[in-house]
Amino acid sequence: LIVGETGTGKELVARSIHQNSRRREQRFVPVDCGAIPENLMESEFFGYERGAFTGAHARNIGLLEFTDGGTFFMDEVGELPLHLQAKLLRVLQERKVRRVGGKEEASIDIRIVAATRRDLETSIHEGQFREDLYFRINVIQIELPPLRERDQDILLLAEHFLSRHTQGSDKVVLGISSDAKDALLGYQWPGNVRELQNVIRRGIAVTKEEEIGINDLPGHISSIQSSASANLSSVALEWEKDFFALREQYIADFERSYLMGQLKNTGGDVSAAARESQVPRGTFYRLLKKYDLHAKDYRS
């Protein structure tokens, strides 16, 4: 079970597990449990026999049977409806699949890797996820920390994406300017690695120089660099403070300034501000409370 926020690279980890296993020559079949309509999910997973329902003109094997011998990756497993969770649990226990409308069971040999951004233990308490299925899939848990908690990776990943997305391109972009790097390091990355990749792709597309500059970054990121300079000046470069104290102060100044800006831009509409920020609304409310900010103060 791989857990982590959206954009942290859960599928990449799942593919790495598959590629380093004895099943690497077999299929890796990914499925987004939140993207399949609920009324189609059972037939997609388990397949169906001819005549099982209107439009079932021929037998069709499901994704589980199709994966036989390989790795079945269920992204956002917390989105599975309860009735399908029960059927999936039986498959994991018996290693057999019965197609919709069928009587016989087909044996399968698959490895299950699941991923979620939800807290499944909370979902269990809320009656939205089966406890027995959770124990079955949570044999080994891999937790992926958000990018903001591993800032030492930000520039490494940025350079990787720069190299990756300039290959085969007729555009020569050799690096990232120092002020742009400062802005990347100061940003909180609510969209994690996926957001960073898109920012670098944008920088490559818009820059007219041989390096991505501060003005080639989106405005909500490029503004951080100037804010950082102002913050450092305002504290008169208090070098007597330790690194962690200064970093916490800088992050707090940034978060408060960013929240105020979003509330101003949306006229105090917290839902809209959370969407624009790509931050969960509950998290946005907690941050407002943390900094004693009130949405009503920004409503005209």
pLDDT in tens, the chain (300 residues): 999 998 899 999 999 999 999 999 999 999 999 888 888 888 889 988 876 666 677 778 889 999 999 999 999 999 999 999 999 999 999 999 988 888 888 899 999 999 999 899 999 999 999 999 999 999 999 999 999 888 889 999 999 999 999 987 788 889 999 999 989 998 889 889 999 999 999 999 999 999 999 999 988 888 766 555 555 555 555 555 667 777 777 788 888 888 888 888 888 888 888 888 888 888 888 888 888 888 888 876
Model pLDDT, residue 248: 77
Nearest to 9 by CA among 276, 196, 284, 217: 196
Residue type, 1: L
3-class DSSP state for residue 114? strand
So what's the pLDDT on residue 105? 87
The pLDDT value recorded for residue 229 is 54
What's residue 227's pLDDT?
54
pLDDT score for 240: 56
Tell which residue, 6, 143, 14, has the closest CA to residue 79.
Answer: 6
Whose tokens are 């390989």? That residue is 70
Q: How is residue 139 annotated by DSSP?
A: S
Sheet strands (E) in 140-203: 142-144, 175-176
List beta partners, residue 3: 116, 143
Q: For residues 75-108, b (16+ Cβ closer than 10 Å) or e, as one string?
A: bbbbbbeeebbebbbebeeeeebbbbbbeeebeb
- For 2, list phi and psi in degrees, rounded to 5: -105, 125
